[in-house]
Amino acid sequence: MNRILRFVLAVCVATGAGFGGPACAADIANGAKVYTTNCVSCHGANGRLDADNPVVQALGVTPADFSDPLFNSREPAADWHMVIQHGGYAMGLSEMMPAQSGVLDENEIEDVTAYLKSVVDTRGFPPGEMNLMLPIRTKKAYPEDEVVYIGRYTDQDGENAYKQVLEFEKRIGKAGQGILELVHESEGSVSELAEVEIGYKQALSHSTTHILSAAAVWAIPVEAEGDGELQTYLAYGKELSPAWIFQSSLRLKFPFAGASDGEAELAAIAHYVHSPWPRRVFPAMEVVATRPFRSANGDLEWTAMPQVRVGLTRGGHVALNLGVELPLSDQSWDQRYYVTLLWDFADGSFFQGW
Ligand code: HEC
């Protein structure tokens, strides 16, 4: 489910609240009562799904198991709040999940959400609230399950150029992620599968308001020339306020042919989360500075990338990012245009919830 939205429950996401997690304004004991009265028939005692229960079998869709720590941790509390309040359909799930807005008041929804977050120990799992918007250049810190397509068109003197990247990223263990990327490039008459990239990312530190990860990626040339390179990066995400999110990454590229030919890239982005509904347009501004290790004049190259995230599905698990890159210092190109299509496959099939 969508990750950029923590409007309603900003203060009280209560990850692991039953296990000594952050203090939470919600009343978990009351949440347990609300749950037993209104939810237990479909979701099972203590949030543990009973798949053999005839009531559950009659639903035609199997609700997720809240006692699974991976599932429980990766779904932001604010998204659950939306599902409980407005029903499954509103967030791209089954309409068998009934809206509770006429049954429960705001506090009761908050309490039952906090209770659901407390039914299993999720320590060690990065919370889904930190599964933030995927920027164009800034590396994402959260180890989500994702398939991403990135298309880039460069408007330059001589031949215009196209680059396409297909990324497959999968959670490994509590806080790791495997990375596989295919890079295809075209310029003039040359069109080739340039590189395959294989990597691993690990979240080092996380809470419901910050995340820090480190990654290493090995870029292997396929048809392109060169010996390949090692890329390493640190990625950071931070909730500045419920509406403002900051992300930044520092990436170092070490070509195997000569590490001194490498470069450092610092990227940062701020995005504005103006609504708890995922199917909206969310604006963001990204700035990138790059510097070759062996630079003749030591100058940084700057570019600015205004962009928007467009949620396509009702729950936002399929989203577009559209952006333009504008050089702020001398470059061989005038503009670059980016289209990113992201499918968060932990939240359902590509065709669900449109
Ligand atoms: C009539 C059965 C039924 C009842 C009663 C019910 N639910 Fe659900 N709920 C479902 C189903 C079915 C789904 C799964 C929808 C899907 O995956 O498409 C669901 C999904 C959810 C989700 C979203 C989980 C996810 O996949 O991200 C939350 C949160 C939730 N329910 C909470 C509650 C709470 C809290 C209550 C009580 C106030 C409740 N439900 C009552 C059937 C029910």
Paired with 343 in beta bridges are: 147, 318
pLDDT score, position 60 = 87
The residue-averaged pLDDT of 85-114 equals: 93
Atom of ligand 1 nearest to the CA of 34: 38
| pLDDT recorded at residue 24 | 52
In terms of domains, do 114 and 255 share one?
A: no
Instruction: Decide if 46 contacts 68 (C-beta within 8 A).
Output: no
Q: Tell me which residue range forms the domain holding 134.
A: 128-347
Find tokens 């701020």 and name the residue: 270
Ligand 1 nearest-atom number relative to CA 348 = 17
Do 286 and 164 lie in one domain? The reply is: yes
7 occurs within a structural domain? no
The contacts found for 209-214 with CB under 8 angstroms, 24 or more apart, are 209/129, 209/130, 209/238, 209/239, 210/130, 210/236, 210/237, 210/238, 210/239, 211/126, 211/130, 211/141, 211/142, 211/236, 211/237, 212/141, 212/236, 213/141, 213/142, 213/143
Residue with the nearest Cα to atom 6 of ligand 1?
A: 39
Q: Does one domain contain both 181 and 308?
A: yes
Position 201 scores a pLDDT of 98
> Residues 233, 331: one domain?
yes
- 135 and 96 both lie in a single domain: no
**Residue 6 included in any domain:** no
Domain assignment present for residue 9? The answer is no
Q: Is 123 within a domain?
A: no
Asked if 223 contacts 196 with a C-beta cutoff of 8 angstroms, the reply is no
Q: What is the mean pLDDT of the segment spanning 53-67?
A: 89
> Which of the listed residues 79, 98, 118 is the one where a domain comes to its end?
118
Looking at the fold, whether 171 and 28 belong to one and the same domain comes out as no
Q: Is position 2 within any domain? A: no
Check residue 22 and give its pLDDT.
41
How confident is the model over 165-187, as a mean pLDDT? Answer: 95
Instruction: Compute, in angstroms, the gap from residue 253 CA to the centroid of ligand 1.
Output: 45
Which amino acid residue places its CA nearest to atom 32 of ligand 1? Answer: 84
Identify the weakest region by mean pLDDT among 55-59, 104-108, 149-153, 170-174.
55-59
Same domain assignment for residues 151 and 234: yes
Residue 245 lies in a domain: yes
Q: Is residue 100 part of a domain?
A: yes
Q: Do the domain assignments include residue 207?
A: yes
pLDDT band, very low/low/confident/very high, at 270 (cuts 50, 70, 90): very high
Please identify which residue in the block is written with the tokens 């299993």: 120
Ligand 1, atom 43: closest residue by C-alpha: 97
285, 304 Cβ separation under 8 angstroms = yes
pLDDT given for residue 9 in this prediction:
42
Task: Tell me which residue of 175, 244, 249 sits closest to 209, measured CA to CA.
Answer: 244
What pLDDT band is residue 14 in, cutting at 50, 70 and 90?
A: very low
Q: Which of 142-146, 219-223, 231-235 has the lowest mean pLDDT?
A: 219-223
Q: What is the pLDDT of residue 107?
A: 93
C-alpha to C-alpha distance for 227 and 210, rounded to whole angstroms: 36
Position 156 confidence tier, pLDDT thresholds 50, 70, 90: confident
Same domain, 160 and 276: yes
Q: Quick one: which of 251, 243, 250, 244 has its CA closest to 197?
A: 251
Domain boundary among 94, 118, 142: 118
* The predicted structure's pLDDT at residue 16: 36
| For the chain, percent of residues with pLDDT exceeding 90 | 72
Residues 113 and 132 occupy one common structural domain:
no
Q: Which residue's alpha carbon is at the smallest distance from atom 26 of ligand 1?
A: 64
Of residues 10 and 183, the one with the higher pLDDT is 183
Could you tell me if 301 and 272 lie in one domain?
A: yes
Residues 158 and 264 in one domain: yes
CATH code: domain of residue 148: 2.40.160.40
What pLDDT was estimated at residue 164? 95
CATH number at residue 109: 1.10.760.10
Please check whether residues 91 and 200 belong to one and the same domain: no
Q: What pLDDT score was predicted for residue 316?
A: 92
Ligand 1 atom nearest the C-alpha of 59 is 12
Tokens of 320: 């577009």
Whole-number pLDDT of residue 4 = 35
pLDDT per residue over 246-266, tens digit each? 999 999 999 988 777 899 999
Instruction: Report the separation in Å between the CA atom of 310 and the middle of ligand 1, taken as the mean of its atom positions.
Output: 26
Nearest CA owner, ligand 1 atom 42? 97
- At 157 the pLDDT is 74
Last residue of a domain, one of 85, 118, 151: 118
Ligand 1 residue neighbourhood (C-beta within 6 Å): 1, 38-39, 41-43, 59, 61, 63-64, 75, 80, 83-84, 88, 93-94, 96-98, 100, 112
User: What is the number of domains present in the chain?
Assistant: 2
- Cβ atoms of 313 and 279 closer than 8 Å: yes
